[in-house]
């Protein structure tokens, strides 16, 4: 070891070298970025959040009152800062939305406002977060434009997809993170997944007081699906890897080269459709002409000339499954009919494991009922309270995860106050960033270690411009002026 490095290590034992910096928290929500950076010793000087109730809660938790819609805040009213954090709204880019991107009338322009703040204040560091589909939106052009705009403002940028479960946190939540630095990213390294096996039980409470039990008809539906799973051929035959769409059992409507919507446009097409069968084998000849589309699965009656390839594949797989297991499926079908279409679909999201629905983690989604491995919870989403993960091995424990348990999935354990309303709490948790994942990224970006600064210390002494100190750490003079707006 170089004697100079040995001397330095003796003075500064291996740990991160930090300077207290100031950050802004845009689209703050519950304050995941705030918690992560404040745990590292940094100070929040500004926050924005459009939801008034979340602004009240943020002030209650952190002692700082966020401004409202960032589009209505004058740039000069935002204090100078070293770090800009923004989990800008994902709805324009999410697979679950319309994917209108920058053309989304409600949220599409928000990234441009982030850029305006960046251009005006030129913070040294950026940490941004969004859904992974933003990389693929508009065939990748949207994401390329985002990176190009950040680079044009003088930042080295990098991105990576990370999920909490890669670090032992029991939630599968794939998100893309973008980091930027005006000092370059030569010393930056993304946190490496630990691959520690998560255990959902570590964040569950015993007999929580604020538990929400499942409605009886949900339990009845899950019991019907448990009967299906129990009758399915045992190992070595595995459960289907594709979504099980029960409405395709017995259906014969055309799907490979046309769609029912297209067939309804012509007299010949309507006549041909009448000879076929709809959801769960309902004869379309028995249905009034103006009700034919209602007798089809919801995904089969959209106004499109051809189904996408993935939908054609799923329909074929389900019809093949029905033909293979027809005798007992025909006896099972009447039991699933009383439930809404979203409950007539099942996704078995793992290969191995006990075939008992109640021994796993469940989630009701618009795409169907998801059954997941009990080591992790599915991604929290900003939707209705009915899509909260479900746990429980006994009848008494068949319940939704509580707000506090879901907060632990986002590493928001230290957040003292959560929204009083279940709807707002679960929505906010579904929009939140995972605190531990952000902290690990920020630690690598903002806090160079002894080993990382070795080259900067001995081979790259500070220049005359004062942009770095002797450790190669950015030295940004903390703003002292008070901004009143």
Per-residue DSSP letters for 390-411? EE-SSGGG-EEPPHHHHHHHTT
| Structure tokens, 372 | 């997941």
How far the first Cα of the chain sits from its last, in Å, is: 54
**Does 322 share its domain with 427?**
no
Q: Which two tokens stand for residue 395?
A: 């009848």
Q: How many helices (H) and strands (E) does the chain have?
A: 13, 12
Shared domain check, 189 and 264: no
Question: What CATH number does the domain containing 44 carry?
Answer: 3.40.50.150
Residues 397 and 418 in one domain: no
Residue 2 lies in a domain: no
Distance CA(406)–CA(391), nearest Å, equals: 12
Residues 30 and 140 in one domain: yes
Do 388 and 417 share a structural domain?
Answer: no
Kindly list the catalytic residues: 90
List the chain pLDDT tens, one digit each, 485 residues.
455 545 544 555 544 445 789 999 999 999 999 999 999 999 999 999 999 999 999 999 999 999 998 888 899 999 999 999 998 764 444 444 444 444 443 444 688 888 899 999 999 999 999 888 778 767 778 888 889 999 999 999 999 999 999 999 998 889 999 999 999 999 999 999 997 888 888 888 888 887 888 889 999 999 999 999 999 998 788 899 999 999 999 999 999 999 999 999 999 999 999 999 999 999 999 999 889 999 999 999 889 999 999 999 999 999 999 999 999 999 999 999 999 999 999 999 887 778 899 888 898 888 899 998 878 777 776 556 777 888 875 445 788 888 999 899 999 989 999 998 888 998 899 889 999 999 999 999 998 654 444 444 444 444 444 433 323 333 333 333 333 34
* 164 and 144 assigned to the same domain: yes
Nearest 5 degrees, angle CA 459-CA 464-CA 469? 60
Query: Which residue bears the tokens 């989304």?
Result: 104
Read off the tokens for 157.
């940028």
Alpha carbon 458 to its chain centroid, in Å, reads: 43
Alpha helices in 337-449 (DSSP H): 403-409, 422-431, 435-446
Helix (H, G, I), strand (E, B) or coil at 68: coil
Residue 382 lies in a domain: yes
Q: Which among 289, 282, 232 is positioned nearest to 263, based on CA atoms?
A: 289
Q: Quick one: 289 and 220 in the same domain?
A: yes
CA atoms within 13 A on the CB side of 6: 3
Name the pairing type of β-strands 361-365 and 244-245: unpaired
- Block residue for tokens 């008809």: 217
State which residues form the domain around 232: 216-401
Q: Is the pTM of this model over 0.85?
A: no
**How many distinct structural domains can be found in the chain?**
2
Q: Do 392 and 426 lie in a common domain?
A: no
């Amino acid at each position: 070891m170089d004697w100079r490095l040995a001397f330095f290590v003796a003075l500064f034992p291996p740990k991160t070298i930090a300077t207290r910096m100031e950050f802004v928290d845009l689209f703050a929500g519950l304050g995941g970025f705030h918690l992560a950076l404040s745990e590292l010793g940094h100070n929040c000087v500004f926050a924005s959040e459009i939801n008034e109730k979340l602004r009240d809660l943020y002030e209650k938790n952190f002692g700082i009152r966020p401004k409202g819609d960032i589009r209505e805040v004058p740039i000069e009213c935002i204090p100078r800062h070293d770090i800009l954090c923004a989990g800008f709204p994902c709805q324009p880019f999410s697979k679950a939305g319309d994917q209108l991107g920058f053309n989304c009338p409600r949220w599409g322009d928000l990234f441009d406002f982030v850029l305006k703040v960046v251009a005006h204040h030129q913070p040294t560091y950026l940490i941004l977060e969004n859904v992974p589909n933003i990389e693929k939106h508009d065939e990748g052009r949207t994401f390329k434009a985002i990176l190009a705009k950040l680079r044009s403002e003088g930042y080295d940028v990098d991105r990576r997809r990370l999920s909490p479960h890669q670090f032992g946190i029991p939630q599968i939540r794939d998100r893309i993170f973008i980091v930027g630095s005006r000092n370059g990213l030569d010393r930056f390294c993304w946190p490496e997944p630990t691959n520690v096996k998560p255990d959902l039980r570590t964040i569950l409470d015993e007999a929580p007081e604020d538990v929400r039990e499942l409605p009886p008809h949900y339990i009845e539906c899950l019991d019907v699906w448990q009967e299906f799973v129990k009758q399915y051929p045992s190992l070595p035959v595995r459960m289907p890897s594709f979504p099980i769409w029960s409405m395709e059992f017995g259906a014969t409507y055309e799907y490979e080269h046309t769609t029912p919507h297209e067939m309804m446009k012509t007299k010949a097409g309507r006549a041909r459709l009448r000879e076929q069968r709809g959801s769960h084998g309902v004869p379309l000849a028995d249905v009034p002409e103006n009700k034919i589309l209602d007798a089809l699965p919801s995904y089969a009656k959209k106004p499109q000339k051809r189904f996408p390839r993935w939908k054609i594949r799923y329909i074929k797989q389900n019809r093949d499954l029905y033909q293979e297991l027809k005798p007992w499926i025909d006896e099972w079908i009447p039991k699933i009919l009383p439930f809404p279409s979203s409950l007539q679909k099942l996704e078995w999201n793992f290969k191995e494991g006990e075939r008992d629905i109640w021994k796993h983690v469940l989630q009701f989604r618009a795409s169907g009922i998801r059954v997941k491995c009990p080591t992790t919870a599915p991604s929290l989403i900003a939707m209705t309270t009915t899509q909260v993960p479900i746990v429980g091995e006994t009848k008494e424990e068949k319940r939704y995860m509580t707000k506090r348990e879901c907060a632990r999935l986002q590493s928001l354990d230290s957040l003292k106050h959560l929204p009083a309303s279940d709807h707002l709490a679960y929505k906010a948790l579904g929009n939140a960033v995972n605190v531990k994942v952000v902290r690990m990224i920020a630690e690598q970006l903002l806090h160079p270690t002894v080993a990382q600064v070795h080259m900067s210390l001995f081979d790259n002494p500070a220049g005359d411009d004062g942009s770095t100190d002797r450790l190669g750490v950015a030295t940004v003079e903390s703003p002292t002026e008070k901004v009143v707006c």
